[in-house]
Amino acid sequence: MGSAITGWGEALPDHVVTNDDFASRLDTSDEWIVARTGIRERRMGGSTSELAAEAGRAALKVAGLEGSDVDLLVLATTTPDQAIPATSSAVHDALDCRGGAFDLNAACAGFVYALVTADALLGIGHHRRALVIGSETLTKLTDQQDRSTAVLFGDGAAAVVLESGARDELVVAYDLGVDGSATPLLYADHGGYIHMEGREVFRRAVRAELESIERVLESAGARPEDVALFVPHQANVRIIEAVNQRVGLPMERTALVLDRTGNTSAASIPLALAEAADAGRVSEGDLVLLSGFGAGMTWASAVIRWGRRGVGR
Ligand code: ACO
């Protein structure tokens, strides 16, 4: 028995920060930011738990479910509200969920790690409905006076509802990995701001994502032309273009939100997926490729089959 994504939703803070807002107080420009990253604006505000609960509520609404129907909650985040307890506890309470809840930190690859984990737990048979959320408030970890990182990151959340009982498997194939020796390239100490060796992270991100996509497509027995929609981590449009060009995935079949959200780490892939689903860009039976990389350095790719055949209520 497989599982299916039956709901999706997002939450973005109201406050929009444009490139010109940064240019008015830092030595940067809209032209530089757009040309080097593809980002035009990002959102700022809220807490990780508030954004996660709002996204979760929206996803449950699309699925036609209540929080009490959920018996597993996985929250992917690198920006928990507190060191203790896990932020998923507050989200579980806000949505009145049942069953267990935990946080998962795999940086920008976190949502794919969480999706694969939730799908596997549903597959064991003890859970029926999982809420998988990516939620981040990265602007709190970013030195707003540092032009090399401030312009890149934004706040936001998105969620999907997974239900068991589907005829097809949701996760057709996946590839998870980490290179812990690359930790010094991208980190934030407790109480400190994000430090990033941007150029080296860029180089490694392209290579890690490319190799991970090749592995996951091979495991799925799929070719790039079989992928109906590619949902990459939204860090930099130049990374996405470089990967797409080498894999042979056209930008027309790629979900992009980073021009409006910036890099929202674990929230970026579900945000792009939720917007694509809302726009009707995925249909029953479609293969969707998700791929992300991030601090750690982690990476995660999954080929999933869209559609809810067999999930009857
Ligand atoms: N405005 C103007 N100039 C800038 C800005 C800015 N906002 N930021 C940096 N610069 C300058 C630099 O100081 C540098 O100047 P110098 O040559 O005088 O030293 C120059 O621009 C070029 O800097 P580079 O770092 O070489 O620029 P690059 O083209 O590599 O772009 C960027 C920088 C956007 C950070 C890019 O390297 C990148 O996207 N890296 C990957 C980031 C990423 O993907 N992170 C993902 C993980 S995030 C996570 O896990 C939380």
pLDDT exceeds 70 at position 13? yes
Q: What is the Cα–Cα distance from 258 to 264, expressed in whole angstroms?
A: 8
Task: Select from 140, 146, 199, 200 the residue to mutate for testing ligand 1; criterion: most ligand atoms less than 8 Å from CB.
Answer: 199
Count of CB atoms within 10 A of residue 278's CB?
Answer: 12
Give the mean pLDDT of 128-146. 97
Average pLDDT, the chain: 97
Our count of domains for the chain comes to 1
Whole-structure pTM value: 0.97
Tell me if 234 sits within 8 A of 201, measured CB to CB: no
State what percent of residues in the chain have pLDDT above 90. 97
pLDDT band at 313 (very low <50, low <70, confident <90, very high): low
| Ligand 1 touching residue 178 (CB < 6 A) | no
| Ligand 1 touching residue 205 (CB < 6 A) | yes
Task: Give residue 8's domain range.
Answer: 1-313
Q: What is the Cα–Cα distance from 238 to 71, expressed in whole angstroms?
A: 39
Rg (CA), the chain: 18
Residues 66-109 pLDDT 10s: 999 999 999 999 999 999 999 999 999 999 999 999 999 999 99
- Domain of 250, CATH number, reads 3.40.47.10
Q: How far is the CA of 198 from the centre of ligand 1 (A)?
A: 5
| Ligand 1 touching residue 79 (CB < 6 A) | no
Residues 184-213 pLDDT 10s: 999 999 999 999 999 999 999 999 999 999
